[in-house]
Structure 1
Amino acid sequence: MSETLPAAQPRVLVVEDNAFNRQVMLSLLGALGAHAEAVADGEEALALLAERSFDLAFLDFNMPGLNGPETAAALRAREMDSGRAAMPLIGLTGDSGLDTEDACLRAGMNEVLVKPASIHDLRAVLARWTPQP
């Protein structure tokens, strides 16, 4: 089965505390035709998502302040309280252990990618989780 990208430009939020990793993700997502924005931590993500909507968010696992699972849990609670549909949340981690993946999934993330994510990985995620025409 061949993976295709959505016809519409998906709006993607990258939540990553490492500036280099943020830039790499923005570059790869831009090359795939996504409109991507980035913030450095969970608090910034929650503030931005209170004002604007995105089709998908990538959440780094280890961040100062609110980590990825804490940010995901807060977003899921906010979605439930407001009756909004759940936005796909994709965990990003340098740790390929099952405990890390379980923590992400228990917090409400849809799937987890191990860093560094390849352009192929990101293409597949966009095809799976963003609106299709």
Structure 2
Amino acid sequence: MIQVFAEVPQGIQTAPHELRMAAAGHQVAVREVDLTHVRDRDSLMMAFLAGLALTQSFGRNWDALYDVLTDPQQFSGRLAVVLCDYAHFKKKRAALAAELEGVLMDAQQSAAEQGRLLWLLAEERDTDTKHW
């Protein structure tokens, strides 16, 4: 198995199964953004507000999201943003997902230029598991 945190972040990658253990071993902060109930840009921004534990002063727009993700005062050198239920979100909200990806890729690039690491990890709900 490839250890995602041993490599430089590149785009949106699949989250490892033992995400928190892997992140702890590499001293990476983890924040989860649940995209399950996102319907539009406003609900997407609210998902990031909750998932990144931002204050109510968060601007809730693309520029504000970019600023938060690239601000060394917000997050230090190693951050993993886990996009929960990402494939389902991308399928349901393709245009919104494309806009989000653009902002996330720009933020990842900017963080790298600052010498910081920003992993973007897609995590899917386990739909194959049956709960008896």
Using the size of structure 1 for normalisation, the TM-score is 0.34
Higher RCO (CA < 8 A, seq sep 6+)? 2
Structure with greater Cα Rg? 2
Using the size of structure 2 for normalisation, the TM-score is 0.34
